[in-house]
């Protein structure tokens, strides 16, 4: 294989000093200089050399290997390279699974694949703001706003008709109902607070992940749930774990579904730990009455037991509860239940690195149309975990 050699004024990563290749890899190809006189890498595998510059010993030209393609999954372990023009007189073996990448490429991948910070937690709910949300909905669903709005309008029954199937559109309609009327506040009633949480979660999702190469597939997965809090929970939890120092990643599905919702934490050169989102919807609004602490504990234990099929010693991972629109009075009982279960039952779940809960939060301000939105993430480690890798935990508001 022969790569192009665009003009490069900066120092290369490697300088070939003899006729022998700089590296001997595990691939089936060869990286050669365009002059045809030098084999730079024997056993070349493009996946093992990302944006690496080689200077030919014969003609002095620079050959640059390609960077990672947009839809490829980033490697879990990368050896960073600086531009020091390291010389090599003979071929250095490259072990299977090793990936060499230029520092600039690593910076590019970090910008592409890691979540961005929310520009501001403050959110002012106005007619123009809701119009913008509808436009985003229409764009991300491929023009289905009108069709879904008609389905929402046809929904009946219950306290919040349409919430289960078209959560974001329900939220937009709910907030428009009395928008601007005397005494109206976007967090003034339970329904308004839940609606505001949904549009806040949607904005958070687009703010933090819209740059990601897989975002169209993420959006399709979230759209299947109506952009509900449950549908957006994987991306909020992934950001929380990334902010704690973990290298999170999403994989392109192999089933042709074009939906990306599952994510993992890189825990080694070729190892990943699954992060499983569990829809913990038993106590979500508008369910009443509020349960006792004992009932919450029993429900959390039930979800822990149900996780065994997905998280175990053969498939180690972390379990994250998504409670949806959750009454704040249940936060502490749920966290207390997780703490107790990790302490007393952790030995029965040795493949479980930890258990947590991701909570969408709306904080009212003195202005009736303005709130602050964010997530609170409470992850608790399992002290009896014996699987591979370590997860970095950091609890609190994002």
pLDDT at 268 > cutoff 80: no
Residue 290 DSSP code: P
Predicted pLDDT of residue 100: 94
Of 343, 296, 295, 353, give the one whose Cα is nearest residue 319.
353
Banded model confidence at residue 245, pLDDT cuts 50, 70, 90: confident
pLDDT at 309 > cutoff 80: yes
Predicted pLDDT of residue 9: 65
Predicted pLDDT of residue 109: 84
- Return the H-helix or E-strand segment holding 127: helix 127-140
CB 387 within 8 A of CB 137: no
Among the ranges given (59-63, 86-90, 187-191), the one the predictor scored with the smallest mean pLDDT: 86-90
Banded model confidence at residue 358, pLDDT cuts 50, 70, 90: very high
Three-state secondary-structure class, residue 95? coil
Instruction: Give mean pLDDT, residues 59-80.
Output: 85
Predicted pLDDT of residue 283: 95
Banded model confidence at residue 72, pLDDT cuts 50, 70, 90: confident
Instruction: Give mean pLDDT, residues 150-177.
Output: 92
Global pTM value = 0.85
CB within 8 A of 191, min separation 6: which ones?
Answer: 159, 160, 174, 286
Instruction: Give mean pLDDT, residues 343-351.
Output: 94
- How open is the CA angle 295-308-273, to the nearest 5 degrees? 115
Please state, in angstroms and rounded to a whole number, the distance separating the CA atoms of residues 246 and 243: 7
pLDDT at 398 > cutoff 50: no
CB 358 within 8 A of CB 278: no
**Percentage with pLDDT > 70 across the chain:** 93
Please state, in angstroms and rounded to a whole number, the distance separating the CA atoms of residues 41 and 215: 35
Banded model confidence at residue 157, pLDDT cuts 50, 70, 90: confident
Residue 98: is the preceding peptide bond cis (ω within 30°)?
no
Strands 263-268, 271-279: parallel, antiparallel or unpaired by DSSP?
Answer: antiparallel
Task: Count CB atoms within 10 A of the CB of residue 122.
Answer: 13
CB 194 within 8 A of CB 326: no
- What are the b/e assignments for 203-228, b being 16+ CB within 10 Å? bbbbbbbeebbbbebbbbbbbebbbb
pLDDT at 291 > cutoff 60: yes
Cα dihedral value 329, 332, 338, 339, nearest 10: -170
Predicted pLDDT of residue 320: 97
pLDDT at 120 > cutoff 60: yes
Task: Count CB atoms within 10 A of the CB of residue 238.
Answer: 27
Q: How many CA atoms lie within 13 A of 58 on its CB side?
A: 14
Cα dihedral value 291, 284, 159, 182, nearest 10: 100
pLDDT at 6 > cutoff 50: no
How do residues 191-231 score in pLDDT, each as one tens digit? 999 999 999 999 999 999 999 999 999 999 999 999 999 99
Banded model confidence at residue 392, pLDDT cuts 50, 70, 90: low
CB within 8 A of 169, min separation 6: which ones?
Answer: 137, 145, 148, 149, 152, 162, 226
How do residues 75-113 score in pLDDT, each as one tens digit? 767 889 999 888 776 788 988 888 999 999 988 888 888
Please state, in angstroms and rounded to a whole number, the distance separating the CA atoms of residues 177 and 184: 10
């Amino acid at each position: 294989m022969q790569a192009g050699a665009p003009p490069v004024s900066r120092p290369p990563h490697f300088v070939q000093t003899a006729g022998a290749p700089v590296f001997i890899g595990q691939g089936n190809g060869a990286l050669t200089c365009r002059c045809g006189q030098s084999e730079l890498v024997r056993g070349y595998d493009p996946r093992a050399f990302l944006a690496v510059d080689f200077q030919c010993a014969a003609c002095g030209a620079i050959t640059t290997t390609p960077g990672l393609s947009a839809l490829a999954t980033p490697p879990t372990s990368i050896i960073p390279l600086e531009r020091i023009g390291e010389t090599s007189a003979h071929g250095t073996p490259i072990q299977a699974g090793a990936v060499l990448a230029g520092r600039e490429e690593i910076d590019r991948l970090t910008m592409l694949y890691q979540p961005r910070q929310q520009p501001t937690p403050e959110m002012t709910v106005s007619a123009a703001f809701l119009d913008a949300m509808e436009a985003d909905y229409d764009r991300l669903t491929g023009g289905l706003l009108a069709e879904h709005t008609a389905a929402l309008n046809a929904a009946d029954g219950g306290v919040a008709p349409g919430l289960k199937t078209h959560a974001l559109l329900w939220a937009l309609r709910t907030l428009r109902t009395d928008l601007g009327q005397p005494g109206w506040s976007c967090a003034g009633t339970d329904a308004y607070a839940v609606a505001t949480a949904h549009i806040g979660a949607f904005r958070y999702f687009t703010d933090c992940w819209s740059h990601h190469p897989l975002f169209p597939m993420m959006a399709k997965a979230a759209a299947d749930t109506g952009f509900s809090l449950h549908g957006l929970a994987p991306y909020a939890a992934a950001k929380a774990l990334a902010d704690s120092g973990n290298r999170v990643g999403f994989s392109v599905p192999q089933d042709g579904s074009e939906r990306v919702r599952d994510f993992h934490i890189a825990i080694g050169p070729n190892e990943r730990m699954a992060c499983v989102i569990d829809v913990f919807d038993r106590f979500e609004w508008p369910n009443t009455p509020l349960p006792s602490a004992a009932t919450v504990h029993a429900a959390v234990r039930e979800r822990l037991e149900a996780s065994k099929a997905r998280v175990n010693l053969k498939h180690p991972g972390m379990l994250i509860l998504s409670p949806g629109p959750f009454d704040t009075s249940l936060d502490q009982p749920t966290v207390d239940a997780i703490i107790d279960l990790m302490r007393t039952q952790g030995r029965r779940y040795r493949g479980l690195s930890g258990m947590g809960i991701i909570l969408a939060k709306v904080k009212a301000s003195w202005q009736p149309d303005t709130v602050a939105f964010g997530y609170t993430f409470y992850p608790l480690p399992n002290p009896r975990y014996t699987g591979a890798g370590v997860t970095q935990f950091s609890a609190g508001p994002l």
